[in-house]
Amino acid sequence: MRVALSLRARYTIWIVLILTGLVTSILFVVQRREVRMITEETKNRGVLTARFIANLNLRAMLLWDIETLQSNVEEQIDDNLVYIVFYDRFGRPLAGSRDIRGDRDIFENSRLSPDAGPDAMHVESGMFHVPGRSSRVLEIEIPIFAPESATRWGSVKTGHMLEDMHREVRNVSRILLGLGLAGLAVGLLASFLLGRRIARPIRNLVDGTQKIARGDFSHTIESDSRDEIGELARSFNGMTRDLLDMRERMAEANRKLVQAEKLASIGRLAATIAHEIRNPLTSVNLNIQKVGGSENLDEVEKEHIALCRDGIDQIEKFIREMLDFTRAADLNCDLFPVPQILESSRKILEGVFQKKNVRLDVKAAPDLPPVFVDADKIRQVLLNVLRNACEAVEPGGKVAVVMDTNASSGRPMARIRISDNGSGIPEKDWENIFEPFFTTKASGVGLGLAHARKIIAQHGGTIRVLKKQGKGSLFEIRLPCEEGR
Ligand SMILES: Nc1ncnc2c1ncn2[C@@H]1O[C@H](COP(=O)(O)OP(=O)(O)O)[C@@H](O)[C@H]1O
Ligand SMILES: [Mg+2]
């Protein structure tokens, strides 16, 4: 099974491997050089010592004074110089330290060839054993020549303890190892910190993209770095903004599509109804009127006839509203003062308001510019909204209209606010009431406000419900007043 490693883990592993390899090879090279230097130095020191001993004993050697030679040997050996052996020109031992007299290999054999010149020397390392002591030694043998003579008198072999050298090598190795470990630790710490610096913004990015993938387009990825990761975060944020925008536009387009589909079906339905019902309804209406006009009806029959006529009125109203709503309407625009359109609507509804004893207050700002509209259509809108207001208030209630101007994104707009002190509209229905067939009334059709919105939108305006202080509802209609048209 493949294990998925995080970027940071992979980065750290690589850094550790590279660092370890680097530190190890550097240490290896340095250590080898150090060891070679220490060995060389030990050898040079040993050769110097051997020459010094040869010079010291030259006289005894020339005089063939074996006794002095022997006693010198015993005096001259110390902790570091473990043995000395003198040989004659034929390689036979003349004198040697006591400790190695038993060791035939060391004592009896000269390593130099009989014809070795003044610069010849033999250097070798080996084990040196005496009871209670066993160590590695560096054995050096050099020839002894009489001053200004080409004749070799003999040779001297010295054994130098390598203990010191080994100790020095161990010390150097230990220091190097310590340095290496410290370097490795610093490197690891640095890579850990660097890894975190690199990994954290990437982690943020990954978390952000996961949130966005789950559909949370409002999430923005925080990043203030100027590097590639910051750039990635920024372009990601840009992409989410675009996505969010697109989603909203699609939702809006979808809503419009549904709306258009709904309107189209209402249109087809309305046409069918008009065709199928209108003609028979007209004849039913006529006949009922005829029957109702007869003299021979008693009170109960007259009441029944009246009920029938109410029903027929209701059906006619329904058909009329539906046809109004669906009829493809080309606007027939001209410049009209808003108060004039309102006044004509008020006149039409005067009877309705009076019947319910509802007061209608109208206020208009003095310098209202005219609007370029289809006055019949706008009157239709005002009629629908005012009729709703009248229906919503109790008998004796109040409806108020205020007209003024107000700018929206630099464009002057005529504003008509219609408020009442009636039942009010719950906030959750503020948009629903503009949907076709939304009604809360027993004999309502639910097309009045849908129709109103359609007309206002055709004029490039808006109609909406606003929050109202106190009881009742407040509708606001805004129409662009394009001066100079
Ligand atoms: N001024 C108002 N006060 C309270 N409710 C209102 C008002 N105007 C509209 N409404 C609500 O909006 C609904 C839709 O109105 P509308 O489209 O004119 O259809 P209808 O009047 O046939 O019911 C109404 O049924 C009513 O619930
Ligand atoms: Mg209505």
Q: Report whether residue 433 contacts ligand 1, using a CB cutoff of 6 Å.
A: yes
Q: Report whether residue 473 contacts ligand 1, using a CB cutoff of 6 Å.
A: yes
Residues 6+ apart with CB under 8 A from 428: none
Contact (Cβ atoms closer than 8 angstroms) between residue 382 and residue 345: yes
Which residue is associated with the tokens 């406000």? 449
Identify the pLDDT of residue 79. Answer: 80
413 beta partners: 406, 480
Q: How far is the CA of 256 from the centre of ligand 2 (A)?
A: 23
In ligand 1, the atom with minimum distance to the C-alpha of 423 is 4
**Token pair of 256 as six digits:** 């419009």
- Each domain of the chain, given as residue ranges in start order, spans 57-161, 329-480
Residue range 313-320: average pLDDT? 85
Identify the pLDDT of residue 87. Answer: 92
Contact (Cβ atoms closer than 8 angstroms) between residue 180 and residue 22: no
**Comparing 194 with 420, which gets the higher pLDDT?**
420
Provide the percentage of residues in the chain whose pLDDT is more than 70. 98
Q: Which ligand is nearest to the CA of 447?
A: 1
Q: Which ligand is nearest to the CA of 423?
A: 1
**Token pair of 149 as six digits:** 């003579």
Distance CA 131, CA 123 (A): 25
Identify the pLDDT of residue 485. Answer: 44
Fold exhibited by the domain 57-161? Beta-Lactamase (3.30.450)
Identify the pLDDT of residue 477. Answer: 96
Atom 11 of ligand 1: nearest residue by CA position: 433
Q: How far is the CA of 398 from the centre of ligand 2 (A)?
A: 17
Atom 20 of ligand 1: nearest residue by CA position: 446
Which of 49-58, 219-228, 313-322 bottoms out in mean pLDDT, i.e. has the lowest? 219-228
Q: Report whether residue 430 contacts ligand 1, using a CB cutoff of 6 Å.
A: no
142 beta partners: 156
DSSP state of 63: T
- CATH fourth-level superfamily of 329-480: Histidine kinase-like ATPase, C-terminal domain (3.30.565.10)
What's the pLDDT tens digit per position in 438-449? 999 988 889 899
Q: Report whether residue 440 contacts ligand 1, using a CB cutoff of 6 Å.
A: yes
Q: How far is the CA of 439 from the centre of ligand 1 (A)?
A: 6
Q: Are strands 359-364 and 398-408 parallel, antiparallel or unpaired?
A: parallel
Q: How far is the CA of 80 from the centre of ligand 1 (A)?
A: 118
Q: How far is the CA of 132 from the centre of ligand 1 (A)?
A: 119
392 exposed, middle or buried (CB, 10 Å; 0-12, 13-18, 19+)? buried
Identify the pLDDT of residue 401. Answer: 97
User: Model confidence at 100, in pLDDT bands (50, 70, 90)?
Assistant: confident
Q: Report whether residue 399 contacts ligand 1, using a CB cutoff of 6 Å.
A: no
Q: Which ligand is nearest to the CA of 451?
A: 1
Identify the pLDDT of residue 357. Answer: 96
In ligand 1, the atom with minimum distance to the C-alpha of 438 is 14
Residue range 223-245: average pLDDT? 85
User: Model confidence at 3, in pLDDT bands (50, 70, 90)?
Assistant: low
- Does residue 210 register a pLDDT over 60? yes
Q: Report whether residue 468 contacts ligand 1, using a CB cutoff of 6 Å.
A: no
What's the pLDDT tens digit per position in 244-278? 899 999 999 998 898 888 878 878 887 888 888 88
**Comparing 227 with 427, which gets the higher pLDDT?**
427
Q: How far is the CA of 211 from the centre of ligand 1 (A)?
A: 42
- Does residue 62 register a pLDDT over 50? yes
Q: Report whether residue 423 contacts ligand 1, using a CB cutoff of 6 Å.
A: yes
User: Model confidence at 16, in pLDDT bands (50, 70, 90)?
Assistant: confident
Residue range 450-474: average pLDDT? 93
What's the pLDDT tens digit per position in 293-308? 888 888 898 899 999 9
Provide the percentage of residues in the chain whose pLDDT is more than 90. 39
Q: Are strands 359-364 and 334-336 parallel, antiparallel or unpaired?
A: unpaired
Residue range 144-171: average pLDDT? 87
Q: Report whether residue 380 contacts ligand 1, using a CB cutoff of 6 Å.
A: no
449 exposed, middle or buried (CB, 10 Å; 0-12, 13-18, 19+)? buried
Which mutation among 318, 358, 388 tests ligand 1's pocket best, with the greatest number of atoms within 8 A of CB?
Answer: 388
Which mutation among 439, 443, 468, 477 tests ligand 1's pocket best, with the greatest number of atoms within 8 A of CB?
Answer: 439
Q: How far is the CA of 306 from the centre of ligand 2 (A)?
A: 24
Cite the DSSP H helix spans in 57-121.
Answer: 58-62, 66-76, 104-108
Identify the pLDDT of residue 155. Answer: 92
Model pTM score: 0.53
DSSP state of 419: E
- Does residue 412 register a pLDDT over 90? no
What's the pLDDT tens digit per position in 374-398? 999 999 999 999 999 999 999 999 9
Q: How far is the CA of 387 from the centre of ligand 1 (A)?
A: 9
Distance CA 290, CA 309 (A): 12
**Token pair of 78 as six digits:** 């110390």
Mean per-residue pLDDT of the chain? 88
**Token pair of 450 as six digits:** 């849908």
Q: How far is the CA of 321 from the centre of ligand 2 (A)?
A: 10
412 phi/psi in degrees, rounded to 5: -70, 135
User: Model confidence at 484, in pLDDT bands (50, 70, 90)?
Assistant: very low
CA 40, chain centre distance (Å): 62
Dihedral sign for Cα atoms in the order 198, 201, 206, 207 = positive
